[in-house]
Amino acid sequence: MQHEAEGILSSSGLSLDWRLSGQAPHETYDDLVVVRFKGDCRLTPAPPIYDELGPLASTYVADGAVQPFSDVACDKITASVRSAIWGKDFARGDMLLGRALGRVLVHELVHMLTRSERHATEGVARPALSASQLTAASLRLTSADLELLRSYAAATRP
Ligand SMILES: [Zn+2]
């Protein structure tokens, strides 16, 4: 997940510094987003679920303002990834799940950092990501999205 997220963001000028909750609780941060992973974030063998999957993640909005808090719905992402992989793909299931989680995480980061609910028509910031978009060899941000993140990174650099 970290590898995929950092790869997508590599030309954005942003650098991510990861912490688990409870790790270094007394540190202070200038620029922080909080992402909660809910449900089971492991790919366990189970029959695919052909169902409306609903949102894979969500970012909080209060009084019309996007907040730096997101929830990632691991159960929905694992179900989506599972529906896209067959047979020998299960051998690299963990890698594919990490890739999917990284893409969903970057999607929410774009909302949180640009303080916007808008979506792109292509790439990681599309309104919805299908199982094949979550697991395909590559899914990037559009150059317009990268430009927004570059402006954000430039504005917040100490
Ligand atoms: Zn979105």
> Residue 72 Cα, ligand 1 centroid: separation in angstroms?
12
Strand, coil or helix: what is 127?
Answer: coil
Q: Which two tokens stand for residue 8?
A: 């997508």
Name the pTM for this structure: 0.88
Q: Measure CA 74 to chain center.
A: 11
pLDDT at position 30, please? 84
Q: Residue 46 Cα, ligand 1 centroid: separation in angstroms?
A: 28
77 in Cβ contact with 134 (< 8 Å): yes
Residue 53: closest CA among 70, 33, 35, 39: 39
pLDDT at 21: 87
- CA of 26 from ligand 1 middle (Å) equals 31
pLDDT of residue 141: 97
| Closest to 4 measured CA to CA, from 154, 155, 133 | 133
Q: How far is the CA of 48 from the centre of ligand 1 (A)?
A: 24
The CA-based angle 46-77-41, given to 5 degrees, is 75
Give dist(CA 70, CA 58) in Å, integer: 5
Pick from 41, 138, 139: nearest CA to 93:
41
pLDDT of residue 90: 82
- For the chain, the domains span 2-156
3-class SS of residue 94: helix
User: pLDDT at position 110, please?
Assistant: 95
Q: What is the pLDDT of residue 7?
A: 96
- The low-confidence residues of the chain, meaning pLDDT below 70, are 45-53, 158
Whole-number Å distance, alpha carbon 87 to ligand 1 midpoint, is 31
What's the rounded Cα separation, in Å, for the pair 153 and 24? 24
The pLDDT value recorded for residue 52 is 52
Q: Which residues pair with 57 in a beta bridge?
A: 72
